[in-house]
Amino acid sequence: MPADIPVSVFKTIDARRDELVELTRQLIDFPTVNPPGEAYRPCAEFIGRRLETRGFRIAYVRAEGTPGDNDRYPRTNVVARREGGVPGPCVHFNSHIDVVETGSGWTVDPFAGVVKSGKLFGRGACDMKGGLAASIVAIEALIDCVADLPGVLEISGTVDEESGGYGGVHYLAERGWFSPPRVDHVIIPEPLNVDRVCIGHRGVWWAEIETLGRIAHGSMPFLGDCAVRHMNAVLDRFERDLYPKLLARNTDMPVVPSGARHSTLNINSIHGGQAEQASGFPAPCVPDSCRMVIDRRLLIEESIDSAKGEVIDLLNRLAGDRAGFAYRIRDLFEVVPIMADRDGPVASATAQAIRRVIGRDPEFVCSPGTYDQKHIDRVGKLKDCIAYGPGILDLAHKPDEYVLIDDMVTSAKVMALAAWSLLHTTA
Ligand SMILES: [Zn+2]
């Protein structure tokens, strides 16, 4: 193994600062808004064409039949692979190319890639086209400066992360694109700050709880049974019996922000009785149905079954205590909590690279939400995966989202060094 990465790699990345900005602007220029999944194919092809010139073999994989896929909005993913002269491990950089809707409140054109005082603005600048561009420039610099690079480099641009990843990483993982021995280490350049290594994320359970009542005339509510009042009893029990328990539960996961180091439960929505109407009066009725969507986030110490059991027990106890109480519960979505080993190859190579490039100790963190690591871990059965990339997580999905240009350059150096180290490590 050569003693050290050639300094020319870092110098090249510095010299390509403007190119990195330009590449990010070009990526932002594709309005890859999801839903519906706009401009996926041209964006994927843009990435493929660029990497082809560096000797990558390009595959376009359309996730046919996945949610939202049709000829108008094809779920087109790109996977680029470059094999070195000497066999060795495969290091893969995976970025999602989709962005969320712009929303209101922008002071700049969200797809123009405006540059102002060291910041590059645009929808996806932070989450995560800045990270994608940084990984491309990092790997190109490595290829251009190191003649005898061993092993395999892969870069993918995948779709639908913002809507669960089923047409993107999940689809590819199911077909072996993210499994050993094809791939050994994965870095996902999500915006988690340049000095943090994200080793995992909490789990999720979404469910709809419906309380049932009996319809009657609203002037004689005693003749019916109000589903909204039953739901109120559920909320009451949540406040009394569930929230204190969730708050008392602590985790070994280094979740940021620290408020998310407990189990949490959000009430996403609640609705009872007639549909809300824009005009006119409603008819007087006792509601016979009230529906509530809950969003329970799980710690690595918890299982989805135990989280479900806790809520179902509470509802069953209420049914025993409260006259007329009846409910239904329906699962909507679930993700298991994931945490990679912080001493694993990809986490330690990235941490080392942060120490070397930035000169300070990295922070190991976990995300309060989820991202595509779940599919790589659960479906691809590849554990050596982390998220590392430029950008401030809090800016994701906001108006005037931006990424600091300095951070993109710094993270590109970290990515190049981490990849170099992983490629030169024999298992
Ligand atoms: Zn993202």
- Between the CA of 344 and the centroid of ligand 1 the distance, in Å, is 23
For residue 238, the 8-state DSSP code is: I
pLDDT digits (tens, 9 = 90+) for 315-374: 999 999 999 999 999 999 999 999 999 999 999 999 999 999 999 999 999 999 999 999
- Between the CA of 412 and the centroid of ligand 1 the distance, in Å, is 17
Which CA distances in Å does 342 have to 111, 365, 388, 426? 37, 10, 13, 19
Six-digit token pair at 299?
Answer: 């710690």
pLDDT digits (tens, 9 = 90+) for 361-388: 999 999 999 999 999 999 999 999 999 9
pLDDT digits (tens, 9 = 90+) for 41-79: 999 999 999 999 999 999 999 999 999 999 999 999 999
Q: Is beta strand 203-212 parallel, antiparallel or unpaired with respect to 119-121?
A: unpaired
- Between the CA of 53 and the centroid of ligand 1 the distance, in Å, is 27
Q: Work out the mean pLDDT of the chain and round it to a whole number.
A: 96
- Between the CA of 95 and the centroid of ligand 1 the distance, in Å, is 8
- Between the CA of 190 and the centroid of ligand 1 the distance, in Å, is 5
Are 203 and 324 in contact by the 8 Å Cβ rule? The answer is no
Are 197 and 363 in contact by the 8 Å Cβ rule? The answer is yes
Helix axes 130-145 and 17-29, enclosed angle (nearest 10): 140
Residues in the chain: 427
- Between the CA of 2 and the centroid of ligand 1 the distance, in Å, is 35
Q: Which residue has the tokens 């995948």?
A: 158
Are 33 and 98 in contact by the 8 Å Cβ rule? The answer is yes
- Between the CA of 312 and the centroid of ligand 1 the distance, in Å, is 33
- Between the CA of 193 and the centroid of ligand 1 the distance, in Å, is 13
Q: Which residues contact 353 (CB under 8 A, 6 or more apart)?
A: 413, 414, 415, 417, 418, 421
| Position 427 pLDDT exceeds 70 | no
pLDDT at 426: 72
Least Cα distance to 286 among 324, 247, 330 occurs for: 324
State yes or no: cis peptide before 36, omega within 30 of 0. Answer: yes
- Between the CA of 340 and the centroid of ligand 1 the distance, in Å, is 18
Give the integer Cα–Cα distance in Å for 228 and 225. Answer: 9
- Between the CA of 96 and the centroid of ligand 1 the distance, in Å, is 7
Least Cα distance to 385 among 156, 65, 126 occurs for: 156
Give the integer Cα–Cα distance in Å for 255 and 25. Answer: 31
| DSSP output for 244-272 | HHHHH-B-SS-BSSGGGSB-EEEEEEEEE
pLDDT digits (tens, 9 = 90+) for 207-252: 999 999 999 999 999 999 999 999 999 999 999 999 999 999 999 9
- Between the CA of 411 and the centroid of ligand 1 the distance, in Å, is 16
- Between the CA of 129 and the centroid of ligand 1 the distance, in Å, is 9
Are 370 and 385 in contact by the 8 Å Cβ rule? The answer is no
- Between the CA of 400 and the centroid of ligand 1 the distance, in Å, is 16
Give the integer Cα–Cα distance in Å for 295 and 264. Answer: 8
Six-digit token pair at 306?
Answer: 């135990």
pLDDT at 279: 81
Query: Helices (H), strands (E): how many in the chain?
Result: 11, 16
pLDDT digits (tens, 9 = 90+) for 81-91: 999 989 999 99
Least Cα distance to 358 among 422, 412, 423 occurs for: 412
For residue 217, the 8-state DSSP code is: B
| Position 2 pLDDT exceeds 80 | no
Task: Summarize the confidence of residues 150-177 as an average pLDDT.
Answer: 97
Least Cα distance to 427 among 27, 52, 91 occurs for: 91
Ion ligand 1, residues whose Cβ is below 5 A away: 127-128, 190
- Between the CA of 94 and the centroid of ligand 1 the distance, in Å, is 11
Tell me how many degrees the CA angle 196-201-205 measures, rounded to the nearest 5: 160
